[in-house]
Chain A
Amino acid sequence: MSAVLQSLVNQPYKHGFVTEIESDVAPKGLNEDIIKLISTKKGEPAWMLDFRLKAYHQWLKMDEPKWPNVRYPKIDFQAISYYAAPKPKKKLNSMDEVDPELLRTFEKLGVPMHERAALAGVAVDVIFDSVSVATTYKQKLAEVGIIFCSISEAVQMHPELVRQYLGTVVPVGDNYYAALNSAVFTDGTFCFIPKGVQCPMDLSTYFRINTEESGQFERTLIVAEEGASVSYLEGCTAPKFDTNQLHAAVVELVALDNADIKYSTVQNWYAGDENGLGGIYNFVTKRGLAKGANSRISWTQVETGSAITWKYPSCILQGDNSVGEFYSVAVTNNYQQADTGTKMIHIGKNTRSTIVSKGISSGHSNNSYRGLVRIAPTAAGARNYSQCDSMLIGDKCGAHTFPYIQVRNQEAKVEHEASTSKIGEDQLFYFAQRGIGSEEAVSMIINGFCKDVFQQLPMEFAVEATKLLGFKLEGSVG
């Protein structure tokens, strides 16, 4: 393969640094005592501990999924520390009281959050090693009745809401990693948009894994009541480490009648070095329940990081006329492995779903799309359109597509299109012959390839995503 293709992919990780903050780390290993410790540390009510223990006992009986098209050494779950929190020096009342070291980290990441929040009108609920340290714009949101806080805080302040919805979309025993998360999650985000309220701004959370060898188990719950709407942005970066880190998050979305939830992710965690050493194991369960009639759940993801990605943001289209969308760009490089896609479960009448997946593989990486479209017997008039495109850069990478289509209603209409293309010498030569260098050419080809997904992202994220792909693939062509 040509040298430009090689060098474009081999851009060093830009966010590789560790912030020195005293951490309160639990002893390694997982057992009932650790779960009780987590629950006690967080001052949780009994029902929350019961939820965790129920999940833990289910998890003990389960096996790790073997079906994904990824390879990695067996994870020692007893070698992981399940709780790490920055030691609270005192209660924080404003941004000025936040650890300056922490603020510098945000600066390095390019997230000057107070400014960014103010200028962009984005409320940033910052999660730093599992515990929220600052929340902005909460007041403004509270005025319209929106609750936007850490899930720990929600358990304390709004227990009835959390209890009503937590685990209803992703049950505690849903899958191996969801069960683990349900047992040990330390923090995450809770968002509640009451009836008839259109959230006045995009809600955004920056996640960041910090303590080495501390598993990260976020839990996110977003509920939009009748006629409510919200756009939620999740952006991720992680510092560079040589040991693998497990990340098993659970995200649950619930949309009632006429509600609309748009969830956008840019994921750029440490992917390991050019020899495949290190990097995050990203085993995530994301699912939305379009519970009410005419509700809509839309997932947009740009996945560029992590050594291994196992992730299928899904929609259960229960309400009549409900809509599910999945727009995805997944980029793998070096020895990264991604097995990602979606599930669209049509239950209600006239439910519609759209799947647009763009996979880009380079280096020695493997990129798989895995998607399920299921039309239940009740889903008269259901429609699905799926488009899965793969692009290969170089000749040592792999692209795979595993579509599962199960139609149990004869009136349903399901379409699936797939394509595979390759950035090769002929494409680059065409650009070169017009005076355009290979890096710019690759960037243009990739952005053109991903256009259908990028245009679904909120403006700010779209710019970030375009740049990210530039870094990510810089030097991979040549």
Chain B
Amino acid sequence: MIRDGSRILLEVRGLRAVVNGIEILKGIDLTVRSGEVHAIMGTNGSGKSTFAKVLAGHSAYQVTGGSVLFEGRDLFDLSPEERARAGVFLAFQYPIEIPGVANSHFLRLAYNTVQAQRGQEELDPLEFEDFVRDKMKLLEMNPDFLDRGVNEGFSGGEKKRNEILQMALLEPLLAILDETDSGLDIDALRIVTNGVNKLSTADNAIILVTHYQRMLNYIVPDFVHVMRAGRIIKTGGKELALDLETRGYDWVGAERPVTAGA
């Protein structure tokens, strides 16, 4: 929800990026303030997920133009891990499995790394156990998840919950959720979106990358952006998502592209 006294967290101007020599992002403009929830929608191949990965710093994508400021700093001056420690979080569409590495170990390492960066207290395994169990209740996760390998043999829904659990632990300033709704049944969707809503505050912001409107029934966006062919071609309020649901994406292209941004 937009609130007074909000500040600009993310400012994207004319962002262009290529992967394997093919230009995927062709000039994106977007401004995200604290307290806001943005939804980025679009068909497959429109560049939504690429945009998410470029912000997080995936090495397969090269930025060829434009700028991104995060809290006024050039985001591209930071390595992927520095971005994470600075408060940029990406919930992955396809979280990887790390066999043999206990989830609790991985979560604690990530948590302590970010805590250290913020000059805050790191937790030993016993303290962390209590802390993480509390967070897991938010996502109605079984404590067994702590002892299993990271995402090892997790169902699609379990992986997505584990992603949001990490968001709950790391408390990012900017959380980018890449198709977090995909592969979730209706109960899991309710639990996950409920968790995200509880994590949304006046100080942070969320970018939801999604194909479908259904997640937006649970997490109500302040802005909806439609992407096509590497650009944001339309921006509106939450009602735009409902239009897309009923009319599809085709009609959007028929209108004149607009410059996105709040």
Contacts and interface: CB of A to CB of B under 8 A. Distances in A.
Interface in B131-164: 149
Contact of B114 (A431, A432, A435, A445): A435
A448 B99 CA distance: 6
A427 interface: yes
Interface residues of A, number: 22
Interface in B97-121: 98-101, 105-106, 109-110, 113-114, 117
Interface stretch (A72-80, A165-173, A449-457): A449-457
A436 B110 contact: yes
Question: Which secondary structure dominates where chain A touches chain B?
Answer: helix
B81 A436 contact: yes
A440 interface: yes
B99 A449 contact: yes
A76 to B, nearest CB: 44
A444 interface: yes
Contacts of A448: 98-101, 149
A84 to B, nearest CB: 42
A426 interface: yes
Contacts of A429: 56-59, 80
Question: Which range contains the number of B residues in contact with the other chain?
Answer: 20 to 34
A201 to B, nearest CB: 30
B45 to A, nearest CB: 19
B57 A432 contact: yes
A429 B96 CA distance: 10
Interface string A413-426: 00000000000011
Interface string B54-83: 001111100000000000000000011101
A429 B94 CA distance: 12
Contact of A447 (B56, B100, B113, B166): B100
B79 A432 contact: yes
A436 B113 contact: yes
Nearest to B53: A429
A451 B100 contact: yes
Interface stretch (B85-93, B191-199, B238-246): B85-93
A444 B100 CA distance: 9
Nearest to A430: B96
A90 interface: no
Contacts of B84: 432-435
B170 interface: yes
Contacts of A431: 81
B57 to A, nearest CB: 7
A410 interface: no
A48 B25 CA distance: 78
A448 B109 CA distance: 14
A448 B58 CA distance: 23
B95 interface: yes
Nearest to A478: B59
Interface string A225-260: 000000000000000000000000000000000000
Contact of A433 (B90, B98, B101, B105): B90
A29 interface: no
Contacts of B114: 435
A345 to B, nearest CB: 30
B113 A430 contact: no
Interface in B218-236: none
* Closest 4 pairs (CB-CB, A-B): A448-B100, A448-B101, A434-B110, A432-B80
29 contacts: A427-B98, A429-B80, A430-B95, A431-B81, A432-B57, A432-B79, A432-B81, A433-B57, A433-B81, A433-B84, A433-B89, A433-B90, A433-B92, A434-B84, A434-B106, A434-B110, A435-B114, A435-B117, A436-B81, A436-B109, A436-B110, A437-B81, A444-B101, A444-B105, A444-B106, A444-B109, A448-B99, A450-B100, A451-B100
